[in-house]
Amino acid sequence: MPDRGEAVVRVRAISLNRGEVRRSGLAAAGWRPGWDLAGEVERAAADGSGPRVATRVVGLLSEGAWAERVAVPTSALAALPDKVTLSQAATFPVAGLTALHALARGGPLLGRRVLVTGATGGVGDFAVQLARLAGAHVTASARRADQAPALRRLGAHEVVVGDEIPPSPKYDLVIESVGGRTLGTALAALEGGGVCVTLGVSAAAEVTFDAREFFFAGRTTLYGFYLFKELRSEPASVGLRRLADLVAAGQLTPHVSLERPWGEIGQVAQDLMARRFPGKAVLTLD
Ligand SMILES: NC(=O)c1ccc[n+]([C@@H]2O[C@H](COP(=O)([O-])OP(=O)(O)OC[C@H]3O[C@@H](n4cnc5c(N)ncnc54)[C@H](OP(=O)(O)O)[C@@H]3O)[C@@H](O)[C@H]2O)c1
pLDDT at site 225: 98
Q: What is the mean pLDDT of residues 192-207?
A: 98
Atom of ligand 1 lying closest to residue 272 CA = 20
Shared-domain flag, residues 191 and 112? yes
Alpha carbon of 18 to ligand 1 centroid (Å)? 7
Q: What integer pLDDT is reported at residue 267 of this predicted model?
A: 97
- Mean pLDDT, residues 130-148: 98
Structural domains counted in the chain = 2
- Residues sharing a CB contact under 8 Å with residue 196, sequence separation 6 or more, in sequence order: 173, 174, 176, 183, 186, 187, 190, 220, 221, 222, 223
User: Residue 16: which domain range?
Assistant: 6-94+234-284
Choosing from 14, 15, 18, 151 the residue with most ligand 1 atoms within 8 A of its CB, the one to mutate for a pocket test is 18
pLDDT given for residue 109 in this prediction:
98
Spatial separation of the C-alpha atoms in residues 63 and 56, rounded to whole Å: 21
Domain membership flag for residue 16: yes
The one-letter amino acid code at 7 reads A
Residues contacting ligand 1 via CB (< 6 Å): 17-19, 94-95, 98, 118-124, 143, 177-178, 199-203, 225-227, 272, 275, 278
Same domain, 23 and 88: yes
50 & 144 share domain: no
Instruction: Tell the burial category of 156 from Cβ atoms under 10 Å away from its Cβ (0-12, 13-18, 19+).
Output: buried
- CATH (domain of 60): 3.90.180.10
Share of the chain above pLDDT 70, in %: 100
CATH of residue 164's domain is 3.40.50.720
Identify whether residues 90 and 10 lie together within a single domain.
yes
Query: Within a 10 A sphere around the Cβ of 134, how many other Cβ atoms?
Result: 16
Q: Are residues 194 and 147 in the same domain?
A: yes
What's the rounded Cα separation, in Å, for the pair 206 and 193?
Answer: 25
Task: Report the C-alpha gap between 229 and 34 in whole angstroms.
Answer: 17
Boundary residue ending a domain (174, 204, 224): 224
* Predicted pLDDT of residue 275: 96
For 212-251, write each residue's pLDDT tens digit.
999 999 999 999 999 999 999 999 999 999 999 999 999 9
Closest atom of ligand 1 to CA, residue 124? 16
Q: Is the pLDDT of residue 101 over 90?
A: yes
pLDDT, mean of residues 97-123: 98
Q: What pLDDT, on a 0 to 100 scale, did the predictor assign at position 72?
A: 98
Residues 276 and 204 in one domain: no
pLDDT at 25: 87
Query: What average pLDDT does the segment 32-39 reach?
Result: 97
- Confidence band of 192 (pLDDT split at 50, 70, 90): very high
Pocket test for ligand 1, best of 97, 105, 123 (most atoms within 8 A of CB): 123
Q: Which of 178, 205, 224 represents a domain boundary (last residue)?
A: 224
| Of the candidates 124, 134, 118, the residue with the CA atom closest to the CA atom of residue 99 | 124
Question: Based on the domain organization, do 21 and 70 belong to the same domain?
Answer: yes
192 alpha carbon – ligand 1 mean position (Å): 27
For residues 163 and 211, what is the distance between their CA atoms, to the nearest angstrom?
Answer: 19
- Reduced to 3 states, what is the DSSP secondary structure of residue 174? strand
- 70 phi and psi, to 5 degrees? -140, 150
> Do residues 123 and 214 both lie within one domain?
yes
Please compute the mean of the pLDDT values over residues 184-191 and round it to a whole number.
Answer: 98
**Residue 217 Cα, ligand 1 centroid: separation in angstroms?**
27
Do 167 and 210 sit in the same domain of this protein?
A: yes
User: Are residue 256 and residue 150 in the same domain, yes or no?
Assistant: no
